[in-house]
Amino acid sequence: MKKLTVLGATGSIGASTLDVVARHPDRFEVAALTGNSRADLLYEQCLRHRPRYAVVGAEGAAALAARLRGAGLATEVLADPQALEFVAALPEVDTVMAAIVGAAGLMPTLAAVRAGKRVLLANKEALVMAGALFMAAVKAHGATLLPIDSEHNAVFQSLPANYAGDPAAAGIRHVVLTASGGPFRSVPLERFATVTPAEACAHPNWSMGRKISVDSATLMNKGLEVIEAHWLFDLAPDQIEVVVHPQSVIHSLVQYVDGSVIAELGNPDMRTPIAHALAWPERIAAGVAPLDLPGLARLDFERPDGTRFPCLALAYRALREGGNAATVLNAANEVAVAAFLAGKLPFPGIAAVIAATLDAVPGAKLPDLAAILAVDAAARRIASDQLVRRQP
C-alpha cells in the first residue's frame, strides 16, 4: 500500500490524481490533501479519501474542521504557514503529488524532495525558478523525481530505462517537445490585443487550471517546459526543440543518433502520465480511452511562430543566460498572467512585461534558497511596476 500526499488536490491535476487513486483502493491510501481556496471540494475529497490531514487556507479552516467532525471524520485540519511542508514530509508518506500552481509550490515540493520522497512533479514553476538547487536536493536526499507534465513524462518513457543524465552516452541527438499551439494558434494576430481571459482559457485539447491555460495560449507553458526539460534530463538548450502539433496525441519524442525516434502517444488526458508515475515501474489502468488511430486519420506538425508567440524565445533566452534569469522569467510571467486574468493587462502585454523585467533585473548567480526568493520578490516588484504603465 502506497501512502500519498496530494499538494493542490483541489486543482485540475489534483482531481485527476484522485480519480486514478480511486480506481486502485488496493494500492493507494491518501494521507494528506491540500487546497487553497475551494473548501467545499476539499471537503468532498476528504469524505471520499479519508486522509489523516487536510490543509486549507486560514479563512476556511474552522468551517472545514467543523464539517468534517460533523461527518464523523477524524481528519485533522491544518492551516498554519508550515502545514504544506509538514504534510509533504510526513514519515508515513512515500509519494507526494506536487500539483500546486506557481511559485507557491516551491517550498512544499522541496520539503518532499528533502524528505527523500517519490515526488510526482506537476508544479513545473518550482523547477524553473530553482532548477540547480532543486536538482541538487533530489540527488542529496535520494528523492525519486517523476515528471507529470505530459511532455516530460513522454520523454521519460522514451529514454533508456537506465538514462543517467548523459545524452551523448545514451546516443540522444535531441528531444522534441510537442505543443498544441493553444487556442490562438490560428487567430489573426490583429485580434491578440483584444482576446479575453475566457478565450485564453478555452484550450482546444486539455482542461486545465487558469494559469497554465494562459501559459498555453502565450506558449510560455512550452517555454517553461523547455527549462524543465533542461533540468530533468540534462539537455543543452539546442538539444530541445519545440514543434507545434495541434492534436496533442504525440506527447513528445526523443531522436537518437542512429535516426530512430521514440515517442509516447495517447489521448490527451493527464490521467495517463499521473497513473504512469503513480505506479512506475508498473502499469495501472487510468480510465483513459484507448487511442483510435483510424479515428484520428491524421497528425499535423508545424514550427512555432515566433512573431505570434514571443514568450517561447524569452524562455530560451532565460535558459541560455542561466543564473537568475529563469527565476525572473517565472516571477514576471506569474505577475503578468494574473494581471491578464484580472482584466488589467492586454494579452500581448504579457510578453512585453516579461521582456522588460528580464532587461531590468541584472544577471546574478543564485547561491542559495534565500537568494532565489529575493530575486523572485524583486522580479515581482519590477513586473508590477511595468503593469502600471500598460493598463488597457
Q: Which residues of this chain interact with Mg ion, rule CB under 5 A?
A: 149-151
Binds 101, which of Mg ion, ligand NAD, none (CB < 5 to 8 A, cut-off by type)? ligand NAD
Write out the DSSP string of 310-336: HHHHHHHHHHHH-TTHHHHHHHHHHHH
Name the residue nearer to Mg ion (CB basis): 77 or 254: 254
Distance in angstroms (rounded) separating the CA atoms of residues 99 and 252: 21
- Shortest distance in whole angstroms from residue 26 CB to ligand NAD: 26
Torsion angle defined by CA atoms of residues 57, 58, 59 and 65, in that order, rounded to the nearest 10 degrees: 90
Q: With respect to Mg ion, which residue has the nearer C-beta, 149 or 376?
A: 149
Give the binding site for ligand NAD (CB under 6 A): 8-14, 35-37, 99-101, 104, 122-125, 149, 206, 208-209, 211-212, 270
- Which listed option, ligand NAD, Mg ion, none, makes contact with residue 32 (CB within 5 to 8 Å by class)? none
Which 3 state secondary structure label does DSSP give 354?
helix
Q: How far apart are CA 330 and CA 323, in angstroms?
A: 13
Interacting partner of 8 out of ligand NAD, Mg ion, none (Cβ under 5 to 8 A depending on kind): ligand NAD
Give the largest Cα separation in the chain, rounded: 63
Residue nearest ligand NAD by beta-carbon distance? 11
Q: Are 355 and 314 in contact (CB under 8 A)?
A: yes
CB under 5 to 8 A by kind: which of Mg ion, ligand NAD, none does 51 bind? none
Residue 161: CB minimum distance to Mg ion, A: 22
Residue 159 contact partner, candidates Mg ion, ligand NAD, none, CB within 5 to 8 A by sort of partner: none
Q: Which residues pair with 118 in a beta bridge?
A: 95, 144
Find which of Mg ion, ligand NAD, none residue 175 binds, CB within 5 to 8 Å per kind: none
151 versus 376: smaller Cβ distance to Mg ion: 151
Residue with Cβ nearer Mg ion (60 or 223): 223
3 state DSSP class of 288: coil
Among ligand NAD, Mg ion, none, what does residue 77 contact (CB within 5–8 Å per kind)? none
Residue 237 DSSP symbol: G
Name the grid cell of 300.
499535423
CB of 208 to Mg ion, least distance (A): 9
In angstroms, give the least distance from the CB of 166 to ligand NAD: 26
User: Smallest gap, in angstroms, from Cβ of residue 364 to ligand NAD?
Assistant: 25
Q: Of 349, 339, 332, 330, which is closest to residue 390 (Cα–Cα)? A: 349
H-type helices in 101-172, by residue range? Answer: 106-114, 124-141, 150-158
CB of 338 to Mg ion, least distance (A): 20
Per the structure block, which three cell numbers stand in for 308?
505570434
With respect to Mg ion, which residue has the nearer C-beta, 150 or 333?
150
| Terminal Cα-to-Cα distance of the chain (whole angstroms) | 53
Which among ligand NAD, Mg ion, none contacts residue 131 (Cβ within 5 to 8 A by kind)? none
Q: Which of 157, 324 has the CB closer to Mg ion? A: 157
- The residue nearest Mg ion at its CB is 149
Sheet holding 240-244, edge to edge: 240-244, 172-179, 250-256, 261-265
How far are the Cα atoms of 75, 223, 248, 251, 264 from residue 243, in angstroms, in the given order? 46, 12, 11, 11, 15
106 binds, among Mg ion, ligand NAD, none (CB under 5 to 8 A by kind): none
CA angle centred on 177, ends 215 and 20, rounded to 5°: 75
Instruction: Compute the least distance from the CB of residue 90 to Mg ion, in Å.
Output: 28
Query: What's the closest the beta carbon of residue 256 comes to ligand NAD, in angstroms?
Result: 26
Q: How many alpha carbons lie under 13 Å from residue 340 in its C-beta half-sphere?
A: 34
**Cβ distance to Mg ion smaller for residue 149 or 334:** 149
Residue number, 149 or 264, with CB nearest to Mg ion: 149
User: How far apart are CB 150 and ligand NAD at their closest, in Å?
Assistant: 6
Nearer to ligand NAD, 57 or 116 (CB): 57
